Homo-oligomer: A and B are copies of this chain.
Amino acid sequence: MVNATLNTIKKRRSITNFLSKSVNEKVLQDVLEAGRWAPSWLNKQPWKFIVVSDESIRLRASDIVPTVFSSTVRVAPVIIAICVNPDLNPYHYIEEGAAVTQNMALAAHSMGLGTIWIGTFSLADEKNSTERKLKDLLKIPKKWRLISLLPLGYPKFKGQKTRKELNEIVDWNYFVAREEKSSAQEIRQKDSIKKILTPTSTPPI
């Protein structure tokens, strides 16, 4: 039995094409609301959300984003740009903008909408990066950073991608390099993964 939140998390997929159906304000507000409740260091909330509904801006944005995202940005009825101010938290502003983005993506999915996370943040902050160009377009001040664009709309198709299995990505107590494992480690590792993958009522932890 999986609760509704776990189900949302497991079923959300990136959506690259949208119906021409518009997004009403109540739904939009719920998505923004979800971003608002993301966690941040000392609850600084170093973020701002720009709701892009103007078609001419959206079309200009579609020419700036990597080609693979252009058509999605062109057809999305609305796009949310998630910005953060590093002055408010110089150490973790990237993670915090990301937590906002993920909250919004999950909220959208829970209401039958689709999103795709366009990672616009340029780690090296290069001139002429997608981030810089989008910041110019959206009049985002120099010191602010643009973490992501989140096109939002009703999905035209279902996303299908799957994921690595848990036993490929979970270790127990220590990182175990897959390629360097000794047989002893491998046995310990297998035993641990079995522990994780075999539901039981005995609390081992």
The answer to the question of A32 belonging to the interface, with a C-beta cut-off of 8 Å to chain B, is yes
Q: Which of A110-158 contact B (CB under 8 A)?
A: 110-111, 117, 119, 121-123, 138-141, 144, 147-148
- Chain B residues lying within 8 Å of A141, measured Cβ to Cβ, are 175, 177
CB distance from A69 to the nearest CB of B (A): 11
Indicate which residue in B92, B175, B204 contacts A121 across the interface (CB closer than 8 Å). Answer: B92
Q: How far is the CA of A112 from the CA of B148 in the complex (A)?
A: 30
- Chain B residues lying within 8 Å of A201, measured Cβ to Cβ, are 24
| A169-B94 in contact (CB<8A) | no
Chain A interface, number of residues (Cβ within 8 angstroms) = 95
| B14-A205 in contact (CB<8A) | no
- A24-B202, A39-B105, A53-B172 given; name 7 further pairs at CB < 8 Å: A9-B106, A25-B202, A36-B166, A91-B119, A95-B98, A102-B102, A139-B174
Using a CB–CB cutoff of 8 Å, the interface residues on chain A facing chain B are 2-6, 8-10, 12, 14, 22-26, 28-30, 32-34, 36-39, 41, 43, 45, 47-54, 57, 77-78, 83, 90-92, 94-99, 101-103, 105-107, 109-111, 117, 119, 121-123, 138-141, 144, 147-148, 161, 163-164, 166, 169-177, 192, 195-205
